[in-house]
């Protein structure tokens, strides 16, 4: 199920972080790094939604989950800066 709320993204981030830690224990560093990055991405998206007024959240969700550039931390950080974070 795709994340739809800030809480959903927080939960997804936590799950990815747990998986990344387990992969590190197995010395699967590249896979752990990938999932760790995904955890950061989900955390940033959770914060963006949390800092977005409720009426704007549907459009914001659509924007931050569409397109390859929304996987880049610097783009997500810019979204947060626009919200004063």
Q: Taking the CA of residue 31 as centre, how many other CA atoms within 13 Å lie in the half-sphere pointing to its CB?
A: 11
What CA–CA distance (Å, rounded) separates 71 from 79? 12
Residue 1 lies in a domain: no
Q: Structural domain of residue 63, as residue ranges?
A: 6-82
Residue 72 lies in a domain: yes
Residue 43 lies in a domain: yes
Residue 38 lies in a domain: yes
How many distinct structural domains can be found in the chain?
1
- Among 53, 44, 56, 40, which Cα is nearest to 85's? 44
Residue 65 lies in a domain: yes
Q: Provide the token pair at 49.
A: 């939604």
pTM of the model: 0.93
- Tens of each residue's pLDDT in the chain, 85 residues: 789 999 999 999 999 999 999 999 999 999 999 999 999 999 999 999 999 999 999 999 999 999 999 999 999 999 999 999 9
CA 54, chain centre distance (Å):
18
């Amino acid at each position: 199920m795709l994340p739809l709320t800030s809480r959903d993204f927080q939960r997804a981030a936590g799950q990815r972080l747990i998986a990344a830690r387990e992969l590190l224990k197995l010395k699967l560093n590249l896979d752990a790094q990938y999932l760790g990055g995904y955890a950061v991405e989900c955390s940033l998206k959770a914060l963006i939604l949390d800092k977005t007024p409720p009426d704007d959240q549907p459009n914001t969700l659509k924007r931050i989950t569409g397109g390859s550039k929304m996987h880049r931390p610097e783009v997500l950080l810019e979204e947060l800066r626009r919200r004063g974070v």
